[in-house]
Chain A
Amino acid sequence: MKALKTLGYVLALPVLLVLLWWASTLGAVNFFVPTPAALVGKFGEVWFGPRFFTDVLPSIARLLVGVVAAIAIGVVGGVLIGSVKWLRALLEPTLEFFRAIPPPVLVPVLILLMGITDSMKVAVIISGCVWPVLLNTIEGVRAVDGVLSDSAHTYGIDGWARVRYLVLPSASPQIMAGVRQSLSLGLILMVISEMFASSSGLGFTIVQFQRSFAIPEMWSGIVVLGLLGVAMSFIFQWAERHILRWYHGQKEVENAA
């Protein structure tokens, strides 16, 4: 009974919205809005053919490589900068400036420096996504509790062990917050780098459909991007729940008190 009610809550509004959409396409044919049936039909036809291998997969691969590299660079750099006081003071204003540059402007710059290549697209994603992770990690490392740090120190937990058992876990809530920002930024940059100058990839294909007024196809591309975003968000939430279980548990206890 309870499960049914939950299911109702989850599905009611989406179903209602789709019905509304369907009803709105019943009358005159709207050039901009395809019927749900047409969209679903196009979706399978357009994206589950060869295009899946020539456009979708390469895009996702570039996104993954870029985001993973950005996270790695951000965490390593953040731990380093966050642990060394003078280094932090030295670099922080410069890094804040880099973070403030809207990442899409890196696309023309990197095209200039690297040409229109796959590595340029990955570089765009890395150079945009690295800042949230880097700055959040610095913040997290800086905020390691003094007593905890002293405890670790007196038990001889130094060097790599300190990073592994103290610094990284302690900064993980902030790191995850940075990763979350990076993921959505990464997706945006993936699309932009392909829309701006490219001859393949998801972004390119969608713009291509739009230019040739293939409206249902264009919509199906928007849906693909949406699904990609939703999938990434769910994977992230799942990972976050596991990695930060202790953190959420602790917060709950604190809030209950």
Chain B
Amino acid sequence: MQPDPTPAPAGKTPPSGKTLPEVMLSVRGVKKVYQTDGGDIEAVRNLTFDLRPGELACLVGPSGSGKTTLLKCISGLMAPTAGEVLLDGKRVSGPPKKMAVVFQEYGRSLFPWMRVRENVELPLKNQGVPKAERDTLVDEALEAVGLSHVPRSYPWQLSGGMQQRVAIARAIAYQPEVLLMDEPFAAVDAQTRADLEDLIRVVWKKLGVTVLFVTHDIDESVYLGERVIILSSSPTVVQEDIVIDLPDERDQLNTRALPRFTELRHHVYEQIQLAKKGHRPAAAGSTTA
């Protein structure tokens, strides 16, 4: 079903400034100014970065730095004031078919009048996927997030972590080529969070999907990503773009205990502190560390 992409290049040689062979998602000079009655608010000044196919990148930045705004521009929910977003070389002007988004507010992103199964199934049904295929996809997705046992429950009968897993299952079943996640674990407890992080890595490897994962949690970004894009505080530019050269097989206990993990964490932390103080990168829009 899914065109088998090149195996995820996690842990391989970093791009090191060379032009990339292929680009899945390209954010070019995106700027967003909200026009409100109290005046204009510049949420994002100038963001430029590329994601290769099958890459898992984390986006971190201080609160209010425009991460959600950026995701809305990328997913075509909102038009950028300047610049453009290219998906597979084509300019994004509305929500693209190949893209799925998992929102932070899990409680509000599921249809409360539909059961778990119907929630996961709806996008596929709407795409006209035949019933038999739909059933397999939904079963697989629910299986993957460990929710095979509650297909007939309503979302509000589930715990917060379970609801977020339903939202993830819906995204997986949709078989997107690009998966955007906006602080998806911000409101779940620590244990569930660890489980969900591992789930994302598993799903990402299995489907070979390109993932852009927004978080404000530094540990999470280093643990999850192959790459971490750090945003400056508002007006927002890319503060730094670093490669996470941790082993591909990650594990909540061992990976987090690695000296390299601590180093990377320190580095990201420092950069964010600098960003908060208003320190700007030398050249706004640099793409590599």
Instruction: Give A contacts to B, CB under 8 Å.
Output: 145-148, 150-151, 153-157, 161, 165-166, 169-170, 172, 246-247, 249-250, 253-254
Contact = CB atoms under 8 A, between A and B. Distances in A.
A48 to B, nearest CB: 43
Contact of A147 (B75, B105, B126): B105
B77 A155 contact: no
A156 B103 contact: no
A148 B126 contact: no
Contacts of A170: 113
B interface bracket (residues with beta carbon within 8 Å of A): 20 to 34
The DSSP consensus for interface residues of chain A is helix
Nearest to A146: B108
Contacts, number: 69
A122 B221 CA distance: 65
Given A147-B103, A156-B95, A169 B123 contact: no
Contacts of A254: 156
A151 B163 CA distance: 14
Q: Which of A148, A169, A170, A249 has the most CB atoms of chain B within a 10 A radius of its CB?
A: A148
B111 A166 contact: yes
Contact of A148 (B76, B100, B109, B156): B109
Given A150-B101, A155-B123, A253 B157 contact: yes
Given A246-B154, A250-B154, A155 B108 contact: no
B184 to A, nearest CB: 13
Interface in B57-87: 72, 75-77
Contacts of B101: 150-151, 154
Interface of B: 72, 75-77, 95, 97, 99-101, 103, 105, 108-114, 122-123, 126-127, 154, 156-157, 170, 174
Nearest to B99: A154
Given A153-B95, A156-B97, 18 more contacts: A147-B109, A148-B108, A148-B109, A148-B110, A150-B77, A151-B101, A153-B77, A154-B75, A154-B99, A155-B170, A157-B123, A165-B114, A165-B126, A166-B111, A169-B111, A246-B156, A249-B156, A249-B157
A154 B154 contact: no
Contacts of B108: 145-148
B156 A250 contact: yes
Nearest to A253: B156
Contacts of B122: 155, 157, 165
Contacts of A172: 113
Q: Which of B72, B99, B113, B126 has the most CB atoms of chain A within a 10 A radius of its CB?
A: B113
Contacts of A155: 95, 100, 122-123, 126, 170, 174
**Top-3 shortest CB links A-B:** A155-B123, A147-B108, A246-B113
A207 B149 CA distance: 62
18 contacts: A146-B108, A147-B105, A147-B109, A150-B101, A151-B101, A151-B103, A151-B110, A153-B95, A154-B100, A154-B101, A155-B123, A156-B95, A156-B126, A156-B127, A157-B122, A157-B126, A165-B114, A165-B126
Contacts of B111: 148, 165-166, 169
Nearest to A150: B77
Nearest to B107: A147
Contacts of A146: 108
Contacts of A145: 108
Contacts of B95: 153-156
Nearest to B97: A156
A213 B9 CA distance: 94
B174 A250 contact: no
B112 A246 contact: yes
